[in-house]
Amino acid sequence: MKMSKIFWGVNILLALVIFTFACKNESIKTETNEAALVDESADGSFPYKRLSTYGFFSGELKALNPVKALIPYTPASSLFTDYALKSRFIFFPEGEKASLTNNELNFPEGTVLIKNFYYPADFRKPKENRRIIETRLLITSEKGWEAFPYIWNESQTEAILKVVGGEIEVSFTDYDGKDQVINYIVPNKNQCKTCHNKSEILAPIGVKVQHLNNELEYQSGKANQLAYWTELGKLEGFEEEKANPAMINYENKNLPLDDRAMAYLDINCSHCHSAEGPASTSGLFLTYDQTDPLKLGVNKIPVAAGNGAGSFDFDIVPGKADESILTHRMNSTEVGIAMPELGRTTVHKEGVQLIKDWINSMK
């Protein structure tokens, strides 16, 4: 007897968690949709070769229709990845929940973060002719978080695990009606830790309190994301929105420039440039709540920028964005100069302009 796709997806994920984290030496029997398995069994011994085997999505895979066990989430501001659009989901193991203590989210073993990267053929029609490039999974076990990149085939029928990453040519029409071609880079499994690094341990970026303490539109209506998780029984420790930090969307030009700039720097830079990040020795800390001008780079000489500094002396020169190392590096794609070092092959023009406006507004 075949299960419904949703019931199958939930049970496959539960089998994955049970098998991997509790019963590695036992045999787990699971009913499956045979058409979706192709050449492998959903026995919980992840990572699977094929994305479809996990059962995250029902119906045609490229539609990315989540099964009931998945919860959509969206950080207040999105990390720039060569203008790719993204959809994100989280899976919590049955009966398990995350906890919030001291503004930190802690996730149970078996939690899965699912992030899809895609491009519409024409950005002026974002819901039409979508091409999915990759899906990244972050799965937590007793060993901590692990990253698994999946690259989609041209027919958009499947995504295959590629631990070595890849380079894919992507063409699209931008918001101004101009044709664009980029060489999109899928990071390899080891490179994931370059950005997803907290005290030398692989950690998520977008599922932090300040990124999720805001409203999202669900099928049932708008709700604060953390409150929604609490209502579903998937989070404990969240009392009210005002009791926890919250960031804004840096793309909203109606909000204060300073807040927008700090939101941009936090989501794009702070996973490295923080006290717990791999760039902690730089002395440049770009978290949303940073108020020390020197730690933000104001009139600060870089510790070891090398060629990345160009002909400039300070990370930020107040009122002079074009003489600041920060914008110089953001505005480059050259290896050794470009920042961030990974995750983009193009310049985020709007992001660069935002940070320039912010620096130029400084007295």
| DSSP string for 223-292 | EEHHHHHHHTTSEES---GGGS-----TT-TTS-HHHHHHHHHHHHHTTTSSTTSTTGGG-----TT---
DSSP state of 303: S
> Phi/psi of residue 342, each to 5°?
-125, 165
Write the pLDDT tens digit of every residue in 66-117. Answer: 999 999 999 999 999 999 999 999 999 999 999 999 999 999 999 999 999 9
Higher pLDDT among residues 241 and 195, named by residue: 241
pLDDT higher than 50, residue 20: no
Beta bridge partners of 151: 134, 160
Instruction: Give 6's pLDDT tier (boundaries 50, 70, 90).
Output: very low
Q: Which amino acid is at 354?
A: L
Task: Tell me whether residue 154 is exposed, middle or buried, using C-beta atoms within 10 angstroms of its C-beta: 0 to 12, 13 to 18, 19 or more.
Answer: exposed
Mean pLDDT score, 178-184: 95
Please give the Cα distance from 315 to 6 (Å, whole number): 51
* pLDDT number for residue 32: 30
Higher pLDDT among residues 58 and 18, named by residue: 58
Q: Half-sphere exposure (CA, 13 Å, Cβ side) for 226?
A: 29
Higher pLDDT among residues 362 and 2, named by residue: 362
> Phi/psi of residue 263, each to 5°?
-65, -40
> Phi/psi of residue 328, each to 5°?
-60, -45
pLDDT higher than 70, residue 5: no
Greatest C-alpha distance within the chain = 71
Task: Break the chain into its structural domains and give their ranges.
Answer: 5-242, 255-360
Q: Strand, coil or helix: what is 200?
A: coil
Structure tokens at 108: 């149970």
Write the pLDDT tens digit of every residue in 305-344. Answer: 677 788 899 999 999 999 999 999 999 999 889 988 777 8
Lowest mean pLDDT among 128-132, 169-173, 199-203: 199-203
First CA to last CA across the chain, in angstroms? 71
CA-to-CA dists, residue 66 to 36, 52, 53, 62, 73, angstroms: 15, 12, 14, 11, 12
* pLDDT number for residue 182: 94
Lowest mean pLDDT among 20-29, 55-64, 75-84, 220-229: 20-29
Write the pLDDT tens digit of every residue in 240-299. Answer: 877 899 999 999 999 999 999 999 999 999 988 888 888 888 889 999 999 999 999 999
Please give the Cα distance from 227 to 17 (Å, whole number): 25
How many residues are there in the chain?
Answer: 363
* pLDDT number for residue 197: 60
